[in-house]
């Protein structure tokens, strides 16, 4: 249970009451994603939108199942009969009731607030209610003090360990990946030793990939594509005008920073990148809708525009309405119906980074601060598009172990986290000296061998800390899949 959920649980007395009606005019439960947490407490959640519909549900089920837990959410001003009000424990949920010492107007207009971190720091607030200016300073500065970040990391680690103890499906790895992304940002500037949880995550994720990654292509995700190779199939099922923004190399942590500069609301989901996590393999699958083994040239992007158009043409029988762009500033055609644009900024920052992950996050903040992505999103929405954002792979920090030389590498890539070889004899020596492991050729051409670095290591100058991708860490493999919820009329 999150710290913010603990506040809601205590405020609504959910430990003691089975039937609760919440007037949530500020839409806090949905925006803070608390409904799933409430489900875990054993509650069935219903929305109260229509008097007659709810009357039927109330008489036929809720009154009959008195021992079951129900939470009813009312988001608008609507008539509620007296007998229903009497049956439930009724509460008003608002930021002023959850955080009475903070300025509620500031919280309501704030976007993408970390309510868990606010909940931690709020415990140290005493005295009178803070002014608007003081509340702004609290949520912009105070909550990021090291003592609060350290407490947050302890909570995240406990939640991750709970998830690792009860692993059942790939979806739990999506939750772990999001928690770890937050953890990576919180850990910047701290001296704490968090390696134990990281090692366990890495070991369990490697085991998961070895046992289950080869099965993911057979899973149909109705709430989003499970593999990036399924992204276009998922989007082409829709009848709307679609714009796909591909942020090359964007990790979940990167998105958590970028989202603060995005004005429209969004839904965040996740997908698995193709392995190894290099651009040529994963982005080519993303834009072609094919697995790497089906590509004539699996290690080059030379044909990705034609592959994208050909894939879209399978459903949309009009090539003039399909377009492939690059960057932010392309001119949208009035004929465009299904388009994508490739933005390389993040991948360029990764491969030029000299200051490790802290420097990378600073670069991402500066990049998102330009507002170019937000402007593009609004421009596409204004043209009537439904907008999606995704990534072909993520990125991670690693320490150089040296670079193999004179070995006849078959495939050259920018990646410093993997090697693709053909007919190389001294494999055992290579694996031992550079801490490499051979990766199964799931979905890949079988005539090559694929070697990936252990988590935290790279094929770079010995001792250098770099940013790269190509390996099988959580940060590289699980990527964001985002649906923008803005008005696209």
3-class secondary structure per residue, 258-319: HHHHCCCCEEEEEEECCCCCCHHHHHHHHHHCCCHHHCCCCCCCCCHHHHHHHHHHCCCCCH
3 state SS of 358 = helix
The pTM of this model reads 0.92
- Considering the domain 219-395+475-484, what is its CATH architecture? 3-Layer(aba) Sandwich (3.40)
Mean pLDDT value across residues 226-236: 96
Residue 148 has pLDDT above 90, yes or no: yes
Give the count of beta carbons closer than 10 Å to the beta carbon of residue 193.
7
CB 223 within 8 A of CB 269: yes
Indicate the domain borders of the chain.
1-93, 219-395+475-484, 400-466
Residue 31 has pLDDT above 70, yes or no: yes
pLDDT at 420: 87
> pLDDT confidence of 114, banded at 50, 70, 90?
very high
Residue 320 has pLDDT above 50, yes or no: yes
Residue of 241, 334, 285 whose CA lies nearest to 445: 285
First to last CA, the chain: 38
Residue 194 has pLDDT above 80, yes or no: no
3 state SS of 11 = helix
Residue 366 has pLDDT above 80, yes or no: yes
Residue 272 has pLDDT above 90, yes or no: yes
CA distances from 411 to 246, 262, 371, 466 (A): 24, 38, 37, 21
> pLDDT confidence of 489, banded at 50, 70, 90?
very low
- Determine the length of the chain: 489
Beta carbons within 8 Å of 267's beta carbon, 6+ residues apart: 482, 483, 485
3 state SS of 93 = coil
> pLDDT confidence of 408, banded at 50, 70, 90?
very low
Q: How far apart are CA 124 and CA 83, in angstroms?
A: 41
pLDDT at 411: 54
pLDDT at 65: 81
Residue 324 has pLDDT above 80, yes or no: yes
Residue listed under structure tokens 């993997």: 418
Torsion-angle region of 146 (φ positive above 0: left; ψ -120 to 50: alpha; else: beta):
alpha
């Amino acid at each position: 249970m999150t710290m913010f959920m603990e506040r809601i649980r205590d405020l609504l007395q959910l430990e003691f009451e089975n039937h609760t009606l919440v007037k949530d005019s500020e839409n806090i439960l949905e925006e803070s994603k608390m409904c799933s947490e409430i489900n875990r407490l054993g509650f069935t959640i219903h929305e109260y939108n229509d008097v007659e519909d709810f009357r039927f549900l109330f008489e036929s089920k809720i009154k009959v199942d008195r021992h079951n837990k129900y939470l009813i959410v009312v988001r608008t001003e609507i008539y509620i009969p007296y007998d229903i009000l009497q049956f439930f424990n009724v509460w008003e949920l608002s930021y002023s009731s959850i955080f009475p010492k903070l300025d509620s107007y500031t919280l309501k207009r704030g976007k993408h607030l970390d309510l868990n971190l606010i909940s931690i720091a709020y415990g140290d607030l005493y005295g009178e209610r803070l002014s608007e200016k003081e509340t702004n300073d609290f949520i912009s500065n105070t909550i990021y003090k090291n003592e609060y970040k350290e407490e947050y990391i302890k909570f995240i680690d406990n939640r991750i360990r709970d998830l690792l103890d009860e692993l059942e499906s790939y979806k739990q790895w999506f939750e772990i990946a999001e928690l770890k992304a937050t953890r990576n940002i919180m850990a910047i500037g701290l001296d704490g030793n968090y390696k134990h949880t990281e090692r366990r995550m890495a070991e369990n994720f490697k085991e998961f990939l070895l046992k289950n990654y080869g099965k993911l292509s057979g899973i149909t995700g109705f709430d989003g594509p499970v593999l990036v190779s399924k992204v276009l199939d998922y989007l082409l099922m829709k009848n709307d005008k679609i714009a796909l923004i591909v942020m090359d190399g964007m990790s979940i942590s990167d998105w958590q920073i970028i989202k603060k500069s995005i004005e429209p609301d969004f839904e965040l989901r996740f997908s698995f990148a193709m392995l190894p996590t290099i651009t040529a393999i994963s982005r080519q699958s993303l834009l072609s809708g094919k697995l790497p083994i089906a590509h004539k040239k699996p290690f080059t992007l030379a044909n990705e525009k034609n592959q994208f158009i050909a894939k879209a043409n399978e459903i949309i029988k009009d090539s003039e309405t399909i377009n492939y762009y690059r960057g932010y500033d392309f001119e949208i055609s009035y004929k465009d119906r299904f388009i994508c644009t490739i933005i390389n900024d993040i991948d360029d920052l990764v491969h030029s980074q000299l200051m490790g992950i802290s420097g990378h996050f600073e670069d991402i903040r500066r990049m998102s601060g330009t507002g170019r992505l937000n402007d593009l999103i609004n421009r596409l929405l204004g043209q009537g598009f439904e907008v999606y954002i995704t990534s072909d792979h993520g990125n991670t920090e690693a320490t150089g172990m040296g670079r193999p030389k004179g070995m006849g590498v078959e495939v050259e890539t920018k990646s410093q986290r993997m090697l693709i070889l053909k007919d190389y004899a001294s494999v055992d020596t290579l694996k031992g000296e550079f801490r490499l492991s051979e990766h199964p050729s799931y979905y890949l051409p079988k005539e090559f061998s694929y070697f990936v670095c252990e988590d935290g290591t790279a094929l770079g100058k010995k001792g250098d800390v770099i940013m790269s991708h190509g390996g099988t860490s959580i940060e590289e493999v699980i990527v964001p899949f985002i649906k923008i919820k803005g008005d696209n009329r």
